[in-house]
Structure 1
Amino acid sequence: MTRGPTLAAHRLPHLPTPLDAFNAAPDDEAGALLLHSLHSLRWSRRISDHRPYPDVESLLAAADEAAYDLSPGDLSEALAGECLPELPEDTYSAAHTALTAAHAAYEAKFGHVFVIHLGDTPPAESLDRVLEGIRSRLTNDPEEERIIASEELRRLARERLQSLLRGAGQYPSAAPPRGATSPNAPAPGK
Protein backbone atom coordinates (compact mmCIF):
# COMPACT_ATOMS: atom_id res chain seq x y z
CA MET A 1 0.00 0.00 0.00
CA THR A 2 1.43 3.34 -1.01
CA ARG A 3 0.91 6.25 1.29
CA GLY A 4 0.62 9.81 0.09
CA PRO A 5 2.54 12.71 1.56
CA THR A 6 1.92 13.32 5.23
CA LEU A 7 -0.15 16.23 6.46
CA ALA A 8 3.02 17.95 7.65
CA ALA A 9 4.27 18.14 4.08
CA HIS A 10 1.24 20.23 3.15
CA ARG A 11 1.51 22.80 5.93
CA LEU A 12 1.91 26.38 4.96
CA PRO A 13 4.90 28.25 6.31
CA HIS A 14 4.21 30.04 9.60
CA LEU A 15 3.31 33.64 8.94
CA PRO A 16 4.00 36.07 11.76
CA THR A 17 0.90 37.29 13.54
CA PRO A 18 0.41 40.57 15.41
CA LEU A 19 0.91 38.55 18.62
CA ASP A 20 4.23 37.22 17.26
CA ALA A 21 5.26 40.81 16.50
CA PHE A 22 4.23 41.92 19.99
CA ASN A 23 6.11 39.05 21.62
CA ALA A 24 9.28 39.84 19.63
CA ALA A 25 9.03 43.65 19.79
CA PRO A 26 11.68 45.63 21.63
CA ASP A 27 10.56 46.64 25.12
CA ASP A 28 9.88 50.26 24.12
CA GLU A 29 7.59 49.23 21.22
CA ALA A 30 5.69 46.72 23.35
CA GLY A 31 5.42 49.37 26.08
CA ALA A 32 4.01 51.89 23.58
CA LEU A 33 1.35 49.42 22.48
CA LEU A 34 0.40 48.66 26.04
CA LEU A 35 0.33 52.32 27.09
CA HIS A 36 -1.99 52.99 24.17
CA SER A 37 -4.32 50.43 25.71
CA LEU A 38 -4.06 51.58 29.35
CA HIS A 39 -1.99 54.52 30.60
CA SER A 40 -0.31 52.78 33.53
CA LEU A 41 3.44 52.22 33.55
CA ARG A 42 3.23 49.42 36.12
CA TRP A 43 0.48 47.63 34.17
CA SER A 44 2.49 48.02 30.96
CA ARG A 45 5.71 46.69 32.53
CA ARG A 46 3.96 43.74 34.13
CA ILE A 47 2.45 42.57 30.85
CA SER A 48 5.57 43.29 28.80
CA ASP A 49 7.86 41.51 31.27
CA HIS A 50 5.88 38.27 30.95
CA ARG A 51 6.26 37.94 27.18
CA PRO A 52 6.10 35.78 25.15
CA TYR A 53 2.44 34.85 25.31
CA PRO A 54 1.38 31.60 23.62
CA ASP A 55 -1.91 33.04 22.36
CA VAL A 56 -4.05 36.18 22.47
CA GLU A 57 -6.31 34.80 25.21
CA SER A 58 -3.29 34.34 27.49
CA LEU A 59 -2.24 37.93 26.85
CA LEU A 60 -5.76 39.22 27.51
CA ALA A 61 -5.99 37.17 30.72
CA ALA A 62 -2.68 38.67 31.89
CA ALA A 63 -3.93 42.17 30.98
CA ASP A 64 -7.13 41.60 32.96
CA GLU A 65 -5.24 40.26 35.98
CA ALA A 66 -2.83 43.22 35.93
CA ALA A 67 -5.78 45.62 35.66
CA TYR A 68 -7.47 44.04 38.67
CA ASP A 69 -4.25 44.63 40.61
CA LEU A 70 -4.00 48.38 39.91
CA SER A 71 -3.10 50.28 43.05
CA PRO A 72 -4.91 53.57 43.76
CA GLY A 73 -1.87 55.40 42.32
CA ASP A 74 -1.87 53.22 39.19
CA LEU A 75 -5.58 53.87 38.74
CA SER A 76 -5.05 57.63 39.09
CA GLU A 77 -2.24 57.46 36.53
CA ALA A 78 -4.42 55.48 34.10
CA LEU A 79 -7.38 57.84 34.56
CA ALA A 80 -5.14 60.88 33.97
CA GLY A 81 -4.31 59.51 30.51
CA GLU A 82 -7.94 59.09 29.49
CA CYS A 83 -10.30 61.44 27.70
CA LEU A 84 -14.03 61.40 27.10
CA PRO A 85 -15.21 58.55 24.87
CA GLU A 86 -15.09 59.24 21.16
CA LEU A 87 -18.56 59.97 19.88
CA PRO A 88 -19.81 60.59 16.33
CA GLU A 89 -18.85 64.09 15.14
CA ASP A 90 -22.41 65.40 14.79
CA THR A 91 -23.14 64.28 18.34
CA TYR A 92 -21.03 67.02 19.87
CA SER A 93 -22.81 69.85 18.09
CA ALA A 94 -26.22 68.42 18.96
CA ALA A 95 -25.67 68.02 22.68
CA HIS A 96 -22.39 69.73 23.43
CA THR A 97 -23.83 71.76 26.31
CA ALA A 98 -25.42 68.77 28.08
CA LEU A 99 -22.27 66.66 27.71
CA THR A 100 -19.98 69.47 28.84
CA ALA A 101 -22.10 70.22 31.91
CA ALA A 102 -22.46 66.56 32.90
CA HIS A 103 -18.75 65.90 32.49
CA ALA A 104 -17.81 69.05 34.43
CA ALA A 105 -20.02 67.92 37.31
CA TYR A 106 -18.46 64.45 37.21
CA GLU A 107 -14.88 65.78 37.16
CA ALA A 108 -15.65 68.23 39.97
CA LYS A 109 -16.98 65.43 42.16
CA PHE A 110 -14.45 62.67 41.37
CA GLY A 111 -11.38 64.56 40.15
CA HIS A 112 -10.89 62.60 36.93
CA VAL A 113 -12.37 62.16 33.49
CA PHE A 114 -15.44 59.97 33.08
CA VAL A 115 -14.60 56.59 31.53
CA ILE A 116 -17.06 54.14 30.06
CA HIS A 117 -16.72 51.12 27.82
CA LEU A 118 -19.22 51.59 25.01
CA GLY A 119 -18.53 48.19 23.44
CA ASP A 120 -21.06 47.44 20.73
CA THR A 121 -23.22 50.47 21.44
CA PRO A 122 -24.46 51.79 18.08
CA PRO A 123 -22.99 55.25 17.30
CA ALA A 124 -26.46 56.81 17.32
CA GLU A 125 -26.93 55.68 20.94
CA SER A 126 -23.43 56.55 22.23
CA LEU A 127 -24.23 60.06 23.47
CA ASP A 128 -27.32 58.88 25.36
CA ARG A 129 -25.32 56.05 26.95
CA VAL A 130 -22.51 58.41 28.01
CA LEU A 131 -24.92 61.00 29.45
CA GLU A 132 -26.95 58.30 31.21
CA GLY A 133 -23.73 56.81 32.60
CA ILE A 134 -22.45 60.12 33.92
CA ARG A 135 -25.77 61.02 35.49
CA SER A 136 -26.24 57.65 37.18
CA ARG A 137 -22.64 57.43 38.39
CA LEU A 138 -22.77 60.94 39.87
CA THR A 139 -24.81 59.39 42.67
CA ASN A 140 -21.91 57.10 43.66
CA ASP A 141 -19.60 57.81 46.55
CA PRO A 142 -15.93 58.29 45.52
CA GLU A 143 -14.80 54.78 46.54
CA GLU A 144 -17.67 53.09 44.71
CA GLU A 145 -16.93 55.21 41.63
CA ARG A 146 -13.21 54.31 41.68
CA ILE A 147 -14.20 50.62 41.59
CA ILE A 148 -16.54 51.20 38.64
CA ALA A 149 -14.00 53.40 36.81
CA SER A 150 -11.36 50.72 37.35
CA GLU A 151 -13.62 48.07 35.80
CA GLU A 152 -14.44 50.35 32.87
CA LEU A 153 -10.69 50.94 32.32
CA ARG A 154 -10.06 47.19 32.37
CA ARG A 155 -12.74 46.64 29.75
CA LEU A 156 -11.40 49.53 27.63
CA ALA A 157 -7.83 48.21 27.85
CA ARG A 158 -8.94 44.73 26.81
CA GLU A 159 -10.88 46.06 23.83
CA ARG A 160 -8.02 48.35 22.76
CA LEU A 161 -5.47 45.56 23.06
CA GLN A 162 -7.66 43.19 21.04
CA SER A 163 -8.16 45.86 18.39
CA LEU A 164 -4.46 46.61 18.13
CA LEU A 165 -3.57 42.92 17.92
CA ARG A 166 -6.02 42.44 15.07
CA GLY A 167 -4.03 45.05 13.13
CA ALA A 168 -1.12 44.44 10.85
CA GLY A 169 1.40 44.49 13.65
CA GLN A 170 1.93 48.23 13.36
CA TYR A 171 1.91 49.72 16.81
CA PRO A 172 0.84 53.31 17.29
CA SER A 173 3.15 55.48 19.24
CA ALA A 174 1.79 56.23 22.65
CA ALA A 175 3.06 58.95 24.86
CA PRO A 176 3.71 57.79 28.39
CA PRO A 177 1.29 59.15 30.98
CA ARG A 178 1.97 62.62 32.33
CA GLY A 179 5.07 62.78 34.47
CA ALA A 180 6.64 59.66 32.97
CA THR A 181 9.46 59.59 30.49
CA SER A 182 9.51 55.98 29.30
CA PRO A 183 7.52 52.79 29.81
CA ASN A 184 10.80 51.12 30.81
CA ALA A 185 11.94 53.75 33.30
CA PRO A 186 12.28 52.50 36.87
CA ALA A 187 9.04 52.58 38.78
CA PRO A 188 8.81 55.28 41.44
CA GLY A 189 10.14 54.04 44.72
CA LYS A 190 12.27 51.26 43.16
Structure 2
Amino acid sequence: MHRGIEVFNRAPAATATAWLLACCASRSWAERLAAHRPYPTTDALLAAADEAAYDLAPADRAAALAAEHPHGPDLSGIPAAASTALDAAHAAYESRFGHVFVIALEAYRPDEHLDQTLAGLRARLANDAEEERVVAADELRRVARARLTRLVAGLGGQGPEEARKPEKSAEFPDSGPADSPYVPV
Protein backbone atom coordinates (compact mmCIF):
# COMPACT_ATOMS: atom_id res chain seq x y z
CA MET A 1 0.00 0.00 0.00
CA HIS A 2 1.25 3.49 -0.84
CA ARG A 3 2.33 5.50 2.20
CA GLY A 4 0.03 8.40 1.32
CA ILE A 5 -3.11 6.29 1.41
CA GLU A 6 -1.91 4.75 4.70
CA VAL A 7 -1.52 8.23 6.24
CA PHE A 8 -4.93 9.24 4.89
CA ASN A 9 -6.58 6.10 6.25
CA ARG A 10 -5.05 6.47 9.74
CA ALA A 11 -5.74 10.18 10.17
CA PRO A 12 -8.43 11.19 12.67
CA ALA A 13 -11.82 11.64 11.02
CA ALA A 14 -11.79 15.41 11.59
CA THR A 15 -8.36 15.71 9.96
CA ALA A 16 -9.34 13.58 6.97
CA THR A 17 -12.55 15.57 6.56
CA ALA A 18 -10.61 18.86 6.63
CA TRP A 19 -8.19 17.53 4.00
CA LEU A 20 -11.11 16.44 1.85
CA LEU A 21 -12.89 19.78 2.22
CA ALA A 22 -9.77 21.41 0.78
CA CYS A 23 -10.30 19.21 -2.29
CA CYS A 24 -14.04 19.84 -2.64
CA ALA A 25 -16.04 22.09 -0.36
CA SER A 26 -19.02 19.77 -0.14
CA ARG A 27 -19.35 18.63 3.45
CA SER A 28 -21.43 15.60 2.46
CA TRP A 29 -18.76 14.54 -0.09
CA ALA A 30 -15.95 14.94 2.44
CA GLU A 31 -17.76 13.21 5.29
CA ARG A 32 -18.81 10.32 3.05
CA LEU A 33 -15.24 9.70 1.92
CA ALA A 34 -13.84 10.03 5.44
CA ALA A 35 -16.47 7.65 6.83
CA HIS A 36 -15.71 4.91 4.31
CA ARG A 37 -12.03 4.59 5.20
CA PRO A 38 -9.85 2.59 4.99
CA TYR A 39 -9.27 2.50 1.24
CA PRO A 40 -7.00 -0.28 -0.02
CA THR A 41 -5.44 1.92 -2.72
CA THR A 42 -5.45 5.48 -3.96
CA ASP A 43 -7.40 4.28 -7.00
CA ALA A 44 -10.13 2.95 -4.70
CA LEU A 45 -10.28 6.33 -2.94
CA LEU A 46 -10.51 8.12 -6.29
CA ALA A 47 -13.29 5.81 -7.46
CA ALA A 48 -15.19 6.51 -4.23
CA ALA A 49 -14.59 10.25 -4.72
CA ASP A 50 -16.00 10.07 -8.24
CA GLU A 51 -19.06 8.15 -7.04
CA ALA A 52 -19.64 10.63 -4.22
CA ALA A 53 -19.32 13.53 -6.67
CA TYR A 54 -21.87 11.97 -9.02
CA ASP A 55 -24.23 11.54 -6.05
CA LEU A 56 -24.02 15.17 -4.85
CA ALA A 57 -27.39 16.74 -4.24
CA PRO A 58 -27.94 20.05 -6.03
CA ALA A 59 -27.47 22.01 -2.79
CA ASP A 60 -24.16 20.25 -2.06
CA ARG A 61 -22.91 20.89 -5.59
CA ALA A 62 -23.96 24.53 -5.32
CA ALA A 63 -22.08 24.87 -2.01
CA ALA A 64 -18.95 23.34 -3.53
CA LEU A 65 -19.13 25.65 -6.56
CA ALA A 66 -19.74 28.66 -4.32
CA ALA A 67 -16.53 27.88 -2.45
CA GLU A 68 -14.45 27.91 -5.63
CA HIS A 69 -12.64 31.18 -6.15
CA PRO A 70 -12.35 32.94 -9.48
CA HIS A 71 -8.77 32.54 -10.50
CA GLY A 72 -7.12 31.09 -13.50
CA PRO A 73 -4.09 30.93 -15.68
CA ASP A 74 -1.07 33.09 -15.01
CA LEU A 75 -1.81 36.35 -16.78
CA SER A 76 1.66 37.85 -16.50
CA GLY A 77 3.06 38.78 -19.87
CA ILE A 78 -0.18 38.39 -21.81
CA PRO A 79 -1.70 41.20 -23.82
CA ALA A 80 -4.17 43.44 -22.01
CA ALA A 81 -6.81 42.48 -24.58
CA ALA A 82 -6.55 38.82 -23.55
CA SER A 83 -6.90 39.73 -19.87
CA THR A 84 -9.90 41.91 -20.68
CA ALA A 85 -11.47 39.12 -22.73
CA LEU A 86 -10.98 36.64 -19.90
CA ASP A 87 -12.50 39.03 -17.35
CA ALA A 88 -15.49 39.74 -19.59
CA ALA A 89 -16.11 36.07 -20.38
CA HIS A 90 -15.85 35.17 -16.71
CA ALA A 91 -18.30 37.92 -15.71
CA ALA A 92 -20.75 36.81 -18.42
CA TYR A 93 -20.51 33.19 -17.28
CA GLU A 94 -21.03 34.02 -13.62
CA SER A 95 -23.95 36.30 -14.46
CA ARG A 96 -25.58 33.63 -16.62
CA PHE A 97 -25.04 30.60 -14.38
CA GLY A 98 -24.63 32.08 -10.89
CA HIS A 99 -21.26 30.50 -10.03
CA VAL A 100 -17.65 30.69 -11.09
CA PHE A 101 -16.43 28.89 -14.17
CA VAL A 102 -14.59 25.66 -13.31
CA ILE A 103 -12.44 23.86 -15.85
CA ALA A 104 -9.92 21.03 -15.69
CA LEU A 105 -6.92 21.69 -17.92
CA GLU A 106 -4.86 18.55 -17.34
CA ALA A 107 -4.74 17.66 -21.02
CA TYR A 108 -3.04 20.95 -21.92
CA ARG A 109 0.39 22.46 -21.47
CA PRO A 110 0.52 25.54 -19.20
CA ASP A 111 1.09 27.81 -22.20
CA GLU A 112 -2.26 26.59 -23.60
CA HIS A 113 -4.28 27.21 -20.44
CA LEU A 114 -5.35 30.76 -21.30
CA ASP A 115 -6.54 29.80 -24.80
CA GLN A 116 -8.33 26.71 -23.51
CA THR A 117 -9.95 28.67 -20.70
CA LEU A 118 -11.23 31.35 -23.07
CA ALA A 119 -12.43 28.72 -25.54
CA GLY A 120 -14.15 26.80 -22.74
CA LEU A 121 -15.85 29.91 -21.42
CA ARG A 122 -17.08 30.91 -24.86
CA ALA A 123 -18.32 27.43 -25.69
CA ARG A 124 -20.02 26.85 -22.37
CA LEU A 125 -21.77 30.22 -22.40
CA ALA A 126 -23.85 28.73 -25.25
CA ASN A 127 -25.09 25.92 -22.97
CA ASP A 128 -28.55 26.01 -21.48
CA ALA A 129 -28.75 25.91 -17.69
CA GLU A 130 -29.27 22.14 -17.43
CA GLU A 131 -26.52 21.29 -19.89
CA GLU A 132 -24.09 23.57 -18.05
CA ARG A 133 -25.10 22.10 -14.70
CA VAL A 134 -23.96 18.69 -15.96
CA VAL A 135 -20.72 20.04 -17.46
CA ALA A 136 -19.85 22.13 -14.39
CA ALA A 137 -20.53 19.17 -12.09
CA ASP A 138 -18.16 16.99 -14.09
CA GLU A 139 -15.46 19.68 -14.15
CA LEU A 140 -15.84 20.11 -10.38
CA ARG A 141 -15.47 16.32 -9.97
CA ARG A 142 -12.29 16.36 -12.06
CA VAL A 143 -10.86 19.29 -10.08
CA ALA A 144 -11.64 17.53 -6.78
CA ARG A 145 -10.10 14.30 -8.08
CA ALA A 146 -6.88 16.09 -9.05
CA ARG A 147 -6.65 17.82 -5.68
CA LEU A 148 -7.26 14.51 -3.90
CA THR A 149 -4.58 12.81 -6.00
CA ARG A 150 -2.08 15.52 -5.05
CA LEU A 151 -3.13 15.35 -1.40
CA VAL A 152 -2.53 11.61 -1.11
CA ALA A 153 0.74 11.84 -3.04
CA GLY A 154 1.87 14.64 -0.72
CA LEU A 155 0.94 12.63 2.37
CA GLY A 156 3.18 9.83 1.17
CA GLY A 157 6.30 11.93 1.57
CA GLN A 158 5.46 13.51 4.92
CA GLY A 159 5.57 12.55 8.54
CA PRO A 160 2.45 12.81 10.68
CA GLU A 161 3.09 16.43 11.73
CA GLU A 162 3.63 17.69 8.17
CA ALA A 163 0.61 15.74 6.95
CA ARG A 164 -1.86 17.62 9.11
CA LYS A 165 -2.58 20.21 6.41
CA PRO A 166 -2.83 19.76 2.63
CA GLU A 167 -0.33 21.67 0.52
CA LYS A 168 -1.57 25.00 -0.87
CA SER A 169 -0.49 26.99 -3.85
CA ALA A 170 1.23 30.26 -3.11
CA GLU A 171 -0.25 31.73 -6.27
CA PHE A 172 -3.82 30.51 -5.63
CA PRO A 173 -4.14 29.72 -1.93
CA ASP A 174 -7.47 27.96 -2.31
CA SER A 175 -6.48 25.78 -5.23
CA GLY A 176 -3.91 23.30 -3.95
CA PRO A 177 -0.37 23.02 -5.26
CA ALA A 178 0.85 25.53 -7.83
CA ASP A 179 1.69 22.79 -10.34
CA SER A 180 -1.97 21.82 -10.63
CA PRO A 181 -3.33 21.42 -14.16
CA TYR A 182 -6.80 22.19 -12.79
CA VAL A 183 -8.03 25.72 -12.38
CA PRO A 184 -11.41 27.13 -11.54
CA VAL A 185 -11.67 30.39 -13.43
Contact 1:36 1:173 in 2 (8 A): no
CA distance in 1 between partners of 2:166 and 2:149 (Å):
14
**SS of residue matched to 2:65:** helix
Residue of 151, 157, 165 corresponding to 2:144 = 157
Percent identity, aligned pairs only? 51
- Deviation track 1:69-94 (CA, whole Å, cap 9, x = no partner) reads 01110110110111235312416664
- Deviation track 1:35-83 (CA, whole Å, cap 9, x = no partner) reads 1111100000000000011111110110000000011101101101112
Residue of 20, 36, 39 corresponding to 2:6 = 20
Gaps of 5+ in 1: 1-13, 175-190
Residue of 124, 128, 137 corresponding to 2:124 = 137
- Which runs of structure 1 show a deviation greater than 3 angstroms over 4 or more consecutive aligned residues? 91-94
Contact 1:83 1:115 in 2 (8 A): no
**Match for 2:122: what amino acid?**
R
Gaps of 5+ in 2: 169-185
1:81 maps to what in 2? 67
1:63 maps to what in 2? 49
Matches within 5 A, 1:1-190: 17-90=3-76, 94=80, 95-167=82-154, 168-169=157-158, 170=163, 171-172=165-166
**SS of residue matched to 1:116:** strand
**Match for 2:125: what amino acid?**
L
TM-score, with length taken from structure 2: 0.80
- Name the larger-Rg structure: 1
CA distance in 2 between partners of 1:72 and 1:120 (Å):
28
Question: Structure with the greater relative contact order (CA < 8 A, sep ≥ 6): 1 or 2?
Answer: 1
